[in-house]
Amino acid sequence: MKDLIIIGAGAIGSAAARTLAQYELDILVLEKESDVGEVTSSANSAIVHSGYDPVPGSEKAAMNVRGNLLYDQMCEELDIDMRKIGSLTIATNDEEVEILRGLEERGRQNGVPVQMLNREETLALEPNLTPEVKLALLAPTAGIVNTFELSVALMENAMDNGVKLNLNEAVTGIRAIEGGYEVTTNRAVYQTRAIVNAAGLFSDEINNFVNPVKYEIQPRKGEYFVLDHFDPDFIRHTIFTVPSSKGKGILVSPTTHGNYILGPSAEFVEEKDDYSTDGETLAQVLATAKKLVPSIPMNQVIREFSGLRAVEKSGHFIIEESLPGFVNLVGIQSPGLTSCPAIAEEVVKFLSNTMEMKKKADFNPRRRPMVRLNRMTPEERAEFVKKNPKFGNIICRCEMVSEGEVLDCIHRNCGAATIRGVKRRVRPGMGKCQGGFCQPRIIKILARELGIKNEDVRMKSPGSFILMGETK
Amino acid sequence: METKQYDLIIIGGGSAGLAAAIAAADHGVEKILILEKEDEAGGILLQCIHNGFGLHRFKEELTGPEYAARFASEAEKRSGIEIKVRSMVLKITAEKEVHYSSEAEGYCVVQGKAIVCATGCSERTRGAIKIPGDRPTGVMTAGLAQRYLNIDGYFVGKKVFILGSGDIGLIMARRMTLEGSKVLGVAELMPYSNGLTRNIVQCLNDFDIPLYLSHTVKKIIGKERLEKIVLAQVDEKFQFIPGTDQEFEVDTLLLSVGLIPSNPLLTEIGVQIHPKTSGPLVDENMQTSIPGIFSCGNSLHVHDLVDFVSMEGETAGIAAAQFIQGTLATSEDVIRTEPGPGVGYLLPASLHCGKDADGKENDFVLKFRVQKPFQNVSLVVKQNGQILKKVKKAFLIPAEMENLTIRQADLLEKNGILSVEVSNE
Ligand SMILES: Cc1cc2nc3c(=O)[nH]c(=O)nc-3n(C[C@H](O)[C@H](O)[C@H](O)COP(=O)(O)OP(=O)(O)OC[C@H]3O[C@@H](n4cnc5c(N)ncnc54)[C@H](O)[C@@H]3O)c2cc1C
Ligand SMILES: Cc1cc2nc3c(=O)[nH]c(=O)nc-3n(C[C@H](O)[C@H](O)[C@H](O)COP(=O)(O)OP(=O)(O)OC[C@H]3O[C@@H](n4cnc5c(N)ncnc54)[C@H](O)[C@@H]3O)c2cc1C
């Protein structure tokens, strides 16, 4: 019997795995997709929220504020790209000024540093903002994170410390047995003493297998534009509209790679796999974004995407031990990314109710740092490449990624096995040409390193093939 | 770090870069370096295995690789030209330092007295044209499909639809049909094709592939691999016409929706960019806003015929030679150019009256594309509103780049505004 099965390897499951890897436990993570962080944890705004916004006293507020606090150390230890650039929430009329004052008060109650800036102060910080701005709420502890790197780094470190990960394995049933649970998947049957349900959009179904209290997740879609990294100083903070009942509103933000994102919309949808984007919604996103930043250069758009928020009917984060040894992390919508290290701490508390939690002597909290060529001086880089020639071979023209970086991301724990896996870890294909130049090269490298045929390399899931066999 | 010195550094060993190198060597430049990121020089031509290259220049029909090979062997004959392949240029500076990286040499910095930037173009992607719907695999640019097929030897699709009637899409329609794929149609948003007429005839008509003008893809359907597309007709304002939806079951959608000059190296150091072409602003010498940095070929503006790419490369190479030798005359007087009615863009952006490499008064080659198809019209060149030259044209289409030569003797004065327009008279 295993000690623990974690269902789902998004940010929440991966953070739980990493935190629990400190303890003497036999842990297996089951993930139905071909990679970790493949679902909501790689399709979101990637903001480390400061926590001024959630209702004071709520679980969301507590997790957000604690999560934000834990982020610096977590990202430092795991070499995750994260920068606390601060956020500005913008009011452009009297009604919004009212709401903003309310948010300032909430921020104080949540213990989050916030500061009001007048029009001149705001425009001095962000000259490209709308001149209509009347008042802005600055939250200096808000940050941006490389959301792709987050789940990967957490899981890599968990695996470095003994956690086992099975990809392409979906849980199809759970039942309570003597001293634990029996978990059935598309590939095997396991027995385990405890379960962490971190299945995101499907966390209701996992819960409903065993818990008499039923939950229901309603997916709520957010659609975005991504712009190229055309000017590092175009916008320097995360810019929010004042939130409404529909969500945090629209934001305009730089990403950790100097791209810009605009979004998200907020519409409930029927299907949990509906990632389509539609013209009308995106036109609205753009119109709202332009109210914040009128001069957004739309010729810099390189792609659109959408993500699905896992909204539980109650609207709350459900973080609980619902049955002995069965920990639910249900309805973890925004700010889930920010909250992940805090939620992981809660999991430890719940599990210590049923299990002996003994710390390992040899837990290593650090991940081997990524090689970041573009942060080296020419001299450092020349020196490094001399010793590691594969880092001299540049295979992505837009993002200037080397073969060495691709090889490294394939051969680490929790390594990339798909084109998207490589793209999300080291960026070839993220740029202006969207893989037009590098994709053939990535296919060849993956095939060679994984010992498979070129036509068996996938974008992500088993059906997402690119090539259809050799020509005669 | 050691910085090796060259006279001329050429970035990109495609048709433009090779022609520039050869011309510069023939005009006395001694130490020329070509940096090319691919395994061999030749550029995009290496994947264009169809016929039709070099009709103007060599008066015969060559394949892309054959045309490229002629230039590559000419370059090799000249001892002053050094070609480094598998060498990606990452960065240049206004001081004409060039940072490149390769597996063989590592990270290197070299410096030239002049630079020719001939980095080609990239394809517009789904993101750039914003097609809504799912995000399956099987939606790819036509040039990428061409590479998989012609260089790597792989099929990319069995049932194919093509969006955009640019030349690469048309050529791929024929190529995939010949390989046994079924091409169900080509859709074009505009009411006219964006490809060369000969490609419409030889690649679509000859294979009974329908061309849907004023149509575009409304939706992409497929969770993993592409399953279906929805095609619909658009009105003059490019709005979908209700009731015109048609579904096509396809596994592949090729995008041939335009090429954009690729100039990340130049934009990073603040070279001025032409708002219409996305290439740099150049004068008659192909010199950019930074003296000694030149641009030519598809990274300057997108060409449909390689012969003109080669010519442009030569102009840039000769001018770079003059710059290095200190003989590139740049007068204070500048003529600015401006596209007139009916003309999309006009190059060069500025003209100086001076002497060419042979000491004669230089001519000006104006290059431009019209905004839409025209029949039985005149092209009129004006300076400060006065007509300098008028040429009758039976047909003009945006897909074909036009050339007009103006001699200094034709000009009224050495400054002012020069324009080209389409006139019904
Ligand atoms: C539009 C949008 C914007 C957001 N912006 C922010 C933001 O700026 N800041 C922030 O802090 N938060 C943000 N969030 C929230 C954040 O993205 C989520 O809270 C977080 O990613 C949730 O992580 P997760 O691990 O719970 O879910 P997921 O990442 O979805 O992971 C769940 C995993 O479980 C797997 N799984 C499901 N069912 C099974 C099964 N039966 N068997 C095995 N595996 C299974 C899935 O494949 C998936 O990988 C945003 C969310 C959205 C949608
Ligand atoms: C699919 C297609 C079909 C065509 N068909 C015809 C035809 O039938 N007949 C005809 O006459 N013309 C045709 N053309 C047009 C013509 O052949 C091309 O426009 C011409 O070859 C472009 O030459 P170029 O040197 O400007 O660009 P390219 O050939 O693209 O060369 C640019 C070179 O720069 C290199 N490079 C780019 N960035 C870097 C960097 N950072 N570091 C190092 N190297 C770099 C690239 O690898 C490439 O080799 C066709 C073009 C295409 C794309």
A343: nearest Cα among A106, A62, A143, A89: A62
* Strand partners for B115: B9, B293
- pLDDT at B58 > cutoff 90: no
Distance from CA of B88 to the nearest CA of A (A): 6
Residues B331-425, CATH architecture: Sandwich (2.60)
- pLDDT at A471 > cutoff 90: no
| Pocket mutation for ligand 2, best pick of B9, B15, B18, B44 (most atoms within 8 Å of C-beta) | B44
Task: Identify whether A19 is part of a domain.
Answer: yes
- pLDDT at A452 > cutoff 90: yes
CATH number of the domain at A430, please. 1.10.10
Q: 3-state class of B121 per DSSP?
A: strand
Distance from CA of A466 to the nearest CA of B (A): 6
Does B347 contact ligand 2 (Cβ within 6 A)?
no
In this prediction the ipTM stands at: 0.93
pLDDT in tens, A109-125: 999 999 999 999 999 99
Q: CA–CA separation, A251 vs A241, rounded Å?
A: 6
CATH number of the domain at A365, please. 3.50.50.60
Binding pocket residue ranges, ligand 1, CB within 6 Å: A 7-13, 30-33, 38-41, 44-47, 49, 170-171, 198-202, 222, 264, 307-309, 332-338
H-only helix segments in A171-260: 203-210
A167 with A32, same domain? yes
- Average the pLDDT over B281-307 and give the result: 96
Cβ of A279 and B155 within 8 Å? no
Q: CA–CA separation, B15 vs B54, rounded Å?
A: 11
Letter string b/e over residues B270-285, b meaning 16 or more CB atoms within 10 A of that residue's CB: ebebbeebbbbbbbbb
Does B11 contact ligand 2 (Cβ within 6 A)?
yes
pLDDT of residue A279: 86
Work out the pLDDT band at A248, boundaries 50, 70, 90.
low
- Average the pLDDT over B173-177 and give the result: 96
Say which residues have a Cβ less than 8 Å from residue A145's Cβ, sequence separation at least 6.
Answer: A46, A47, A48, A71, A75, A80, A81, A82, A256, A337
Please identify which residue in the block is written with the tokens 């090796």. Answer: B4
A150 with A222, same domain? yes
* Cα Rg, chain B, nearest whole Å: 22
Number of domains in chain A: 2
* Both structure tokens of B406: 């103006």
- Average the pLDDT over A126-146 and give the result: 97
- Average the pLDDT over A276-296 and give the result: 93
pLDDT of residue A435: 86
Rounded to the nearest 5°, which phi and psi values hold at B228? Answer: -150, 155
Domain assignment of residue A397, given as a range: 373-456
Say which residues have a Cβ less than 8 Å from residue B171's Cβ, sequence separation at least 6.
Answer: B48, B50, B142, B146, B199, B203
Task: Identify whether A417 is part of a domain.
Answer: yes
Task: Identify whether A160 is part of a domain.
Answer: yes
- pLDDT at A303 > cutoff 70: yes
The separation between the first and the last C-alpha atoms of chain A, rounded to the nearest angstrom, is: 52
pLDDT of residue B56: 83
A289 with A357, same domain? yes
Looking at chain B, the whole-number percentage of residues with pLDDT higher than 90 is 86
Q: CA–CA separation, A102 vs A35, rounded Å?
A: 41
State which residue of chain B sits closest to A420, comparing Cα positions.
B137
- pLDDT at A247 > cutoff 60: no
- pLDDT at B232 > cutoff 90: yes
Task: For chain A, positions 305-334, list CB contacts with chain B under 8 A.
Answer: 305
* Both structure tokens of A317: 């984060």
- Average the pLDDT over B293-316 and give the result: 96
| Pocket mutation for ligand 1, best pick of A5, A36, A44, A207 (most atoms within 8 Å of C-beta) | A44
pLDDT of residue B1: 83
pLDDT in tens, A166-177: 999 999 999 999
Torsion region of B9: left, alpha or beta (phi above 0 gives left; psi -120 to 50 gives alpha): beta
Domains B1-123+258-328 and B331-425 share a fold: no
Task: Identify whether A122 is part of a domain.
Answer: no
Task: Identify whether A424 is part of a domain.
Answer: yes
- Packing angle between helix A403-411 and helix A439-450, nearest 10 degrees? 40
- pLDDT at B62 > cutoff 60: yes
pLDDT of residue B335: 96
* Cα Rg, chain A, nearest whole Å: 22
- pLDDT at A431 > cutoff 70: yes
Put simply, whether A433 touches B (Cβ < 8 Å) is yes
Q: CA–CA separation, B154 vs A268, rounded Å?
A: 41
pLDDT in tens, A193-218: 999 999 999 999 999 999 999 999 99
pLDDT in tens, B340-392: 999 999 999 999 998 887 888 889 999 999 999 999 999 999 999 999 999 99
Which of B1, B89, B101 should be substituted to probe chain A, the one whose Cβ sees the most A Cβ atoms within 10 Å? B101
Distance from CA of B63 to the nearest CA of A (A): 20
Ligand having the closest approach to the CA of B303: 2
Give A226 Cα–ligand 1 centroid separation in angstroms: 20
Give B342 Cα–ligand 2 centroid separation in angstroms: 28
All residues of chain A having their beta carbon less than 8 Å from the beta carbon of residue B147 are 440
pLDDT of residue A206: 98
Put simply, whether A434 touches B (Cβ < 8 Å) is yes
pLDDT of residue A374: 87
A321 with A196, same domain? yes
A173 with A310, same domain? yes
pLDDT in tens, A390-412: 999 999 988 899 999 999 999 99
Instruction: Examine the residue annotation and report whether A49 is marked as an active-site residue of this protein.
Output: yes
Ligand having the closest approach to the CA of B62: 2
A347 with A427, same domain? no
A386 with A309, same domain? no
A259: nearest Cα among A227, A234, A235, A233: A227
Rounded to the nearest 5°, which phi and psi values hold at B409? Answer: -65, -25
* Both structure tokens of A22: 């400190």
Give A84 Cα–ligand 2 centroid separation in angstroms: 42
- pLDDT at A254 > cutoff 80: yes
State which residue of chain B sits closest to A400, comparing Cα positions.
B90
A292 with A316, same domain? yes
Higher pLDDT, B59 or B161: B161
Distance from CA of A30 to the nearest CA of B (A): 21
A65 with A171, same domain? yes
Give the start-to-end residue ranges of the domains of chain B: 1-123+258-328, 125-257, 331-425
Residues B1-123+258-328, CATH architecture: 3-Layer(bba) Sandwich (3.50)
- pLDDT at B257 > cutoff 70: yes
Q: What mean pLDDT value characterizes chain B?
A: 95
Q: What is the pTM of this model?
A: 0.93
A46: nearest Cα among A130, A140, A151, A122: A151
- Average the pLDDT over A293-302 and give the result: 92
Q: CA–CA separation, A74 vs A137, rounded Å?
A: 27
A350 with A379, same domain? no
pLDDT of residue B425: 79
Q: CA–CA separation, B20 vs B296, rounded Å?
A: 8
Q: What mean pLDDT value characterizes chain A?
A: 95
Work out the pLDDT band at A246, boundaries 50, 70, 90.
low
Ligand 2 atom nearest residue B100's Cα: 42
Q: Specify the CATH number for B125-257; select among 2.10.109.10, 3.40.710.10, 3.10.180.10, 3.50.50.60.
A: 3.50.50.60
